[in-house]
Amino acid sequence: LYKTFKDDKYVYMLLEVCLGGELWTLLRDKSQFDDMAARFYVASVVEAFSYLHGRGIVYRDLKPENMLLDSHGFAKLVDFGFAKKIGFSNKTWTFCGTPEYVPPEIILNKGHDFSADYWSLGILIFELVTGNPPFTSNDAMKTYNIILRGMDVLEFPRKVSKNAGNLIRRLCRDSPTERLGYQKDGLHDIKKHKWFQGFHWQGLVDRSIQPPYKPK
C-alpha cells in the first residue's frame, strides 16, 4: 500500500502492481513444484507471517490464490479480509477461511490464534508439492469432516519428500499447542526445520536470490 486518497464518496488505495498473477495459476500450469520452488514460496509466507504475528495480527486465509507474483517472480501475500488483530496470548472465535485450509479448532469453534496460520502453512506446502490440498471434497461440510480425521491418517504420495512430509505433519497437529511455531522460538523453529536447510533467508528479504520462476 503506497498511498490512500478519498473523495466525498470513495476511499482509494494505491497498491503495488503484481504483473505475475496468482501463484495458483502458476501451480496449475506446472501441476506441482519441486522442493526448491516450494521452499521459496513457503519461505515468503513465513516472512510475511513473522511481520504480521509480530504485530499481533493473525492472517487466516492462506492459499495459492492469495499469493501474487511481482514482475521479478517474488511472492506477495494479499487479501487481508479475514486478517484480525488479536494481540498476544489471545484467541478469536470467528468462523472464517477457505474450507480446505481451515484448522480443526475453527471447525469446532474452540477459539484460535496464530497457530491457525501454522496449520494453513502445512496445507500450503502439501498443495505446492503435490498440486492439490490434502483435505478436499465438493462439499464444504464433507471437507471439514475429513479435516477432523486428522493429518496422521493420510498416506502421503511418493512425490512428498521425507523432510517436506515431516514439516507438514509437525505443522498440522490437531492440537494447536503442538504445532511447530507455537513454542517460544515461534516461526524461527519453522525456519530451522531440515526442509529449509541451505535456504538463504536474508537473500529472500533483500531480494538478492533468484526466484524459481520469472513471469513472462
Measured in degrees and rounded to the nearest 5, phi and psi for residue 94 equal -65, 130
Helices (H), 54-161: 104-107, 115-130, 140-149
All three cell numbers of 13? 488505495
Catalytic-role residue among 61, 79, 117, 139: 61
CA separation for the pair 24, 10 (Å, rounded): 31
The grid coordinates listed for 140 are: 464444504
Residue burial 44-74, b: 16+ Cβ < 10 Å; e: rest: bbbbbbeebbeeebbbbbbbbebbbbbeebb
Nearest to 194 by CA among 215, 172, 168: 168
In whole angstroms, what separates CA 145 from the centre of its chain? 21
Catalytic: 61?
A: yes
The rounded Cα 77 to chain-centroid distance in angstroms is 9
Query: Which residues are marked as active site?
Result: 61
